[in-house]
Structure 1
Amino acid sequence: MNKKKILNDPVYGFINIPNDLIFDIIEHRYFQRLRRIKQLGITDYVYPGALHTRFHHALGAMHLMSNALDSLRGKGVEISEAEYDAVMISILLHDLGHGPFSHTLEFSLFQGVKHEKVSLWMMQDLNKEFNGALDLAIQIFKNEYVRPFFHQLVSSQLDIDRLDYLKRDSFFTGVYEGSIGSERIIKMLNVVAGQLVVEEKGIYSIENFLSARRLMYWQVYLHKTAVCAEMMLIEIIKRAKELTQKGENVIATPALSIFLEQSITAKDFEEDRDILEVYALLDDNDIWGSIKFWQDHPDFVLHTLSKMLLERKLLGISFSNDAIGRIVTDDLVHKAMKEYDISDKEAAYFVKTGSVSNSAYIASGQSIKILRKHGDVVDVAEASDLPNIKAMSKIVTKHYLCAPKTLIKD
């Protein structure tokens, strides 16, 4: 069987599967599951074209990683075949642990478990199946390999992950202001003392990258309608879990039912790896299929929120620079109680507050390093003629209030 297939990607054109091992990993059920998890969760409620999946993103990131490694080799950076394959696998599997709707339900189905941790557990299981072939890929993923630039290519403030998702999300949403010159950035990458750097002539591409990232957060990832829809989805799962654990009958797919019945934590995952197999059965379809049942459930909160989300009749939402006061929310909860003839606890499901933050670049920690012509390496924020980057280092926080539109108008 020919395993060196060529895939046609709408963003980059042809993508090559470089070897048999990567082909077999892509064919595995863990990876194929990513076909059924949308990259941007429920953002297609705002941008109808945002239907691309984690599967698309993973393959695109692998393609860009291949370009980056070839470029670094061309500049004299020694990269063995084993290292090449390992970092390709690491970026291919970096999002393997995402649950339904990607980031939206990350802390709703289980407690205190980030998707990166689940990705690692899945990679470790794959490693057993492939007789240790992923040992080096896991070291790179965990940042335990002696050459740190490989991990920085997978996860940093200027990693291959971001280079793909910004370009891909811009393409599928149609928000072309968020498009970046990923090819040029890749050509400007280099390695100094084992650390990933950007050559000085690529500094304006970095500024554009950071500007595009900031814009995409406000215009796409943190768009107020998407935030509202995601919040409603979180509340639906919360209510379904609450009712299930009270002993009420809440129809759901078998895999989802287990996560509704139990409050699963990281410790549960580590002590019972069968939970991982159940988790690997979950995707967006479990949630939508269950919500279609829940729109007819006798519980007012569950059926009302489910029906609203299915029909895209969303709650109202407003953003503010200041935190929403308790007086405002208490008043809206009281109005919701009267409007729907429900208890204060039930009404609280329809009145939610929260905050979102946006920072394109955080100078502290793992920063973006610029290699100047004379050989010294400096933080990109220290570049004398780029005041915009310093401005983009500031974290901007906005507070939101979600409530029924009829009550907000009152």
Structure 2
Amino acid sequence: MKSHKILNDPVYGFITIPSELIFNIIDHPFFQRLRRIKQLGLTDYVYPGALHTRFHHALGAMHLMSITLDQLRNKGTEISDEEYESALIAILLHDIGHGPFSHALEYSLLKGIPHERLSILAMEYLNQEFHGKLNLALRIFKDQYPRKFFHQLVSSQLDIDRLDYLQRDCFFTGVSEGTIGADRIIKMMAVKNDQVVIEEKGLYSIENFLSARRLMYWQVYLHKTTVSAEKMLINLIQRAKDLSSDGVDLGITANFDFLLKNEHSLNDFAQDQNLLKKFLQLDDFDIWGAVKQWCEHEDYVLRGISSMFLERRLFKIKLTNEPISEEEIEALGEKLIQKLNVPAADLRYFYSSGKVSNYGYLAKDRINILTKKGEVIDVAKAADLPNIRIMSKIVEKYYVCYAKNLN
């Protein structure tokens, strides 16, 4: 038996792999691939320590899920051994469908296909390999299991995914302001009427959790330098796609080349397991290898942006609280055409504009507080928490980013 194998995690210390099935899932090539996908994409351009991977995060989330389920059992919630193992598998595989650079390329490498949908397809593929042993984990992941609190632990505004990534991202970026009291939050969790609730005495831990998450978005996930780097990468991949469709040799790995040349729908991935396998062999190294190759490419766009990328000569970015008018965007575009000496048709590769948004709390996906009287109320309505009501507002910021030069 390979179960109860122990791993040493930098955030939590020792993590136990509790069953043979889970060990074999972790050992599978689909899961091992997550070692080669960084959790925070290009954030290490801002925070050099942010080199942790989706593999780290998935194992950490599984660990926190096991602690949470033990805590719920201790409070009298009946959880069978099958439910326990399946909940661990559901959280372990929740990010299995992520492509290279995580969110940065989610909607550019594959048009309109969110990673959650690919995660489901990957889990269904694994379920076949493991002879139906992931049936319950899939039902939990897809919110098809009658005991709804299991899905809430996997995906909600206060799920195990968020509890791990906030702690882990704080640890590796060094942004201590985003620290949350995950241990206390888990201890305050209970199940009432098949819903995850937080006991009233844990209320201020929830306020801190929501504040920390909001801060982490602006200070880390949506840091303007990270946004600039991601836009550069998206533009670079778009140029590669455009050249590939014209038959230009890009000198890249076979699977990367295949996915660049052909547009695929979610239905294509659902019907063709070989296509899914091609995608699930891609990782950050395919992209980095291509970028290094393209530094010598004859195409000036590929060559220019790739060189900038490797040397960290990032697009200049301006972030503002007010929308940027079309006139301003067009005027800046005209100046760039002259400054960079590029054809107007190619400006889009060196220039991007748009908006980013962040919220602390969405009332439609509520976090429930269990009062001392046994009532269940929304956290935003709890006493003395005006900050949460303020955080319910979606904050939007607008940006333009562009190449400063081509050399």
Instruction: Indicate if the aligned counterparts of 1:332 and 1:351 stay in contact, CA closer than 8 A.
Output: no
CA distance in 2 between partners of 1:3 and 1:202 (Å): 34
Alignment of 1:347-358 (within 5 A): 347-358=347-358
CA offsets 1:123-182 (integer angstroms, 9 cap, x no match) = 001000100000000000000001000000000000000000000000000001101110
> Which AA in structure 1 matches 2:18?
P
**Corresponding position: 1:203 with 2:203:** yes
3-state SS of paired residue (1:264): coil
TM-score relative to the length of structure 1: 0.97
| 1:333 is aligned to 2:297 | no
- Which residue in the other structure is 1:133 paired with? 133
Any unmatched runs of 5+ in structure 1?
none
- Taking the aligned partners of 1:155 and 1:293, their CA distance within structure 2 comes to 39
- Report the 3-state secondary structure (helix = DSSP H, G, I; strand = E; otherwise coil) of the residue aligned with 2:102: coil
Give the aligned partner of residue 249 of structure 1: 249
User: Within 2, Cα distance between the matches of 1:245 and 1:406?
Assistant: 27
Alpha-carbon separation, structure 1, partners of 2:208 and 2:342: 50
Contact 1:329 1:351 in 2 (8 A): no
Structure 1 runs of 4+ aligned residues shifted over 6 Å read none
Tell me the alpha carbon deviations over residues 325-383 of structure 1, each in whole angstroms, 9 at most, x when there is no partner. 2222222222222233321111222121011001011011x210000000110000001
For structure 2, the 5+ residue unaligned runs are none
Residue 197 of structure 1: SS of its match in structure 2?
A: strand
Shift of 1:300: 1.6
RMSD: 1.1
Task: Work out the CA distance in 2 between the residues paired with 1:227 and 1:340.
Answer: 21
SS in 2 for 1:147: coil
User: Is residue 220 of structure 2 the alignment partner of residue 214 of structure 1?
Assistant: no
Spell out, residue by residue over 1:308-332, the C-alpha distance to the aligned partner (whole angstroms, 9 max, x if none).
0110000100111122222222222
Cross-structure match for 1:9: 9
Where 1:110 maps in the other structure, the secondary structure is coil
Matches within 5 A, 1:111-150: 111-150=111-150
**Deviation of residue 271 (structure 1)?**
2.7
What's the secondary structure of 2:103's corresponding residue?
coil
Aligned AA (2:369): I
Query: How much does 1:222 deviate?
Result: 0.3
1:264 matched to which residue of 2? Answer: 264
Query: Which residue of 2 is the match for residue 390 of structure 1?
Result: 389
2:312 maps to which residue?
312
TM-score, length of structure 2 as denominator length: 0.98
**Count of paired positions:** 406
Map 1:4-403; keep pairs closer than 5 Å.
Answer: 4-364=4-364, 366-403=365-402
Could you tell me how far apart the structure 2 residues matched to 1:31 and 1:267 are? 23
CA deviation string 1:226-275 (max 9, x = no partner): 00000100000000000100111212111110111111221221232211
Hey, what's the Cα distance between the residues in 2 that align with 1:333 and 1:397? 23
Does the CA-based 8 Å contact 2:255-2:282 persist in structure 1? yes
Deviation per CA, 1:42-83: give whole Å up to 9, x if none: 000000000000000000000000000000000000000010
Identity of paired residues, percent?
59
Q: C-alpha distance in 2, partners of 1:246/1:327?
A: 33
> Residue 313 of structure 1 aligns to a residue in which SS?
coil
Q: Is the 8 A contact 2:2 2:23 kept in 1?
A: no
